[in-house]
Amino acid sequence: MSEAVTRRRRRGGAQNRWSEQPIGNLISDVAGNHGPIPSGEDEGGRQGALKRFSAMWSSFRRGKKDRSKDQEPAEPLGQAVEPNTSRQQRYLSGQYFFEYLVVVSLKKNKDGSNYEPQITYQFPKRDGMARSQKEEEEKTLQAITLFCFPEGINWAPLTEYHSETFSFVLTEVDGSRRNGYCRRLLPGGKGARPPEAYCIISSLACFGLFSKIFDEVEKRRQISMAMIYPFMQKLREAPFPAPGNTVEIKSFIPESGTEIISLTRPLDSWLEHVNFAKLFDCLTDDEVLLVFAAAVLERRIIFIADDLGTLSQVIHAVAALLYPFTWQHTLISIVPKILIDVVMAPTPYLLGVQKRLLDQVDDQGDLMVDLSEDKKKTFIFSTGDEASILPPKLQTEILEALSKRQEASTEELNRVVSEAFLHFFVKTVGHYSSYVKYSRGAQGVFEKRSFYKAIESKTTRHFVKKFIQTQMFDLFIQEVEQQPGPQQGIFHKKILEYEEKKKRDKARKH
């Protein structure tokens, strides 16, 4: 039998590893498990949101580059005076910072027994949309309210509340993603009152940039809700800057005059949604390695914390450690209480769960990681083999590289951490391109057996034989097979640098 293996995207069938149907089934069951819909929530509200979730969470895959040719893109929200075609082209081309901003407030339900999250402000308004688009968008907005207040309906008015910023990801059935950025705070006023949430939905992943935007929104909210509109309108009209560049937004504030807000994207755009500081605040270097080992083999990992921001930052940081590969399965940075049964899914996931729900997730997943400050132990539950997954020599090299990050700035920290794990992949699978063979008029063929047999180290070869069975490697190779010619990007650059270094070292020995 030829060792050449042609890898194709698997579709359909009961044994399809790419299917996340169990997730959808669990989510559909949640409504029945939690009794009747709370008062004030109709079939088109909470139930519609639940149905929307089953579609959103079906995968966390990158879409094919030509996917937009096959499907009609969803129309973003915009001003009625702007033609639909123009709005689609501008948003899809990346010229819009965001799709829309919503304010989610906690309102008493009809019988006054509990609070429920409701959208009380939206910019821009939904004008000029077809009925079907409007209905779908309404379901999405209902789903967003659950992410903004994942704790559920048991809230009480507060006199003090520490502002917190977190993020989440909405994954559509076609693999496209939208990012949700949320800031919760106590609105202005006197006496006890429930917090409210500001949420920005965008196709752009840049947590730091949107955190600064929230600072400006919050400043204007303290003056008047009406002050938010002109700032967001200016922002929506501004071009999204290229990596390393800055865009300036002029905004007028009463008694302060015209202010110029500078928004700068990090130079390393693939790290702009990530801040590794929180990950290493919560875990030691050795613990991070164990989590990375479980993630790289696509296991079910649950993170526990009190703080929503901690959960979202740590989960996105763990996903970023996998670069140049992408987590292909369910990723929910903060699981809403009403959907906690998702932890029982048999398929791989990265989930963030608030600590007060810990008793509902006991003995679930393959690895449960406690990120809270008062934890008794970091790993509440583990498979037990995490320390032996990665090759020992490469584990040591990662730890040595991480030790150089002391007193580093955020950008320097991101660089040191990302390069440490990137070099791990360079040394384990960086020779992949030599084993993808192309023929005229056909896509490439990956010679899997020759690929891992070329590895001299027995421990590295043992790891690679497991890693090439993951979906993240599978999709990576599929894209290489379909794109003949020299590879591009940071990963390929690091591979070339490593090969040149090996040649120099070999020449010195002779």
DSSP H or E stretch at residue 330? strand 330-332
Mean pLDDT for the stretch of residues 207-236: 86
The pLDDT of residue 427: 95
Among 19-33, 224-238, 356-370, the minimum mean pLDDT is found in 19-33
Count of alpha carbons within 13 Å of 343, Cβ hemisphere only? Answer: 28
Q: How confident is the model at residue 233 (pLDDT cuts 50, 70, 90)?
A: confident
Structure-block tokens of residue 243: 């990596």
Domain regions of the chain by residue span: 21-272, 410-509
DSSP H or E stretch at residue 264? strand 257-264
> Could you write out the DSSP letters of every residue in 359-373?
GGSTT-SSEEEE-ST
The pLDDT of residue 270: 65
Question: What residues does 118 pair with on adjacent strands?
Answer: 105
Among 6-10, 299-303, 428-432, the minimum mean pLDDT is found in 6-10
Q: By the 8 A CB rule, do 377 and 336 touch?
A: no
The pLDDT of residue 236: 85
The pLDDT of residue 269: 63
230: helix, strand or coil: helix
Q: By the 8 A CB rule, do 184 and 147 touch?
A: no
* CA 351, 356, 359, 362 torsion-angle sign: positive
Alpha carbon of residue 229 to chain centroid: 28
The pLDDT of residue 224: 81
Among 72-76, 178-182, 244-248, 385-389, the minimum mean pLDDT is found in 72-76
- Above 60 in pLDDT, residue 210? yes
Report in angstroms the alpha-carbon separations of 330 from 58, 96, 304, 334, 479.
7, 27, 17, 12, 21
The pLDDT of residue 22: 31
| pLDDT tens, residue by residue, 461-481 | 999 999 999 999 999 999 999
Of all residues in the chain, the percent with pLDDT exceeding 70 is 78
In angstroms, rounded to a whole number, what is the distance separating the alpha carbons of residues 164 and 183?
6
Q: Which residue has the tokens 């020299």?
A: 486
In this predicted model, which residue has the larger pLDDT, 509 or 201?
A: 201
Q: Which residue has the tokens 């007193």?
A: 407
| pLDDT tens, residue by residue, 113-137 | 788 899 998 888 766 677 777 777 7
Cα angle, residue 263 at apex, residues 259 and 269 outer, rounded to 5°: 180
In this predicted model, which residue has the larger pLDDT, 56 or 389?
A: 389
DSSP H or E stretch at residue 255? none
Q: CATH classification of 21-272, choosing from 3.20.20.70, 3.40.50.2300, 1.10.10.10, 3.30.450.200?
A: 3.30.450.200
Torsion angles phi and psi, residue 215, rounded to 5: -60, -40
Mean pLDDT for the stretch of residues 282-305: 97
In angstroms, rounded to a whole number, what is the distance separating the alpha carbons of residues 335 and 355?
11
Average pLDDT across the chain, whole number: 78
pTM of the model: 0.75
Closest CA to 337 of 320, 312, 359: 359
Mean pLDDT for the stretch of residues 84-110: 66
In angstroms, rounded to a whole number, what is the distance separating the alpha carbons of residues 85 and 435?
44
Mean pLDDT for the stretch of residues 331-354: 92
| pLDDT tens, residue by residue, 294-323 | 999 999 999 999 999 999 999 999 999 999
In angstroms, rounded to a whole number, what is the distance separating the alpha carbons of residues 275 and 413?
8
Q: Tell me the one-letter amino acid at 238.
A: A
347: helix, strand or coil: coil
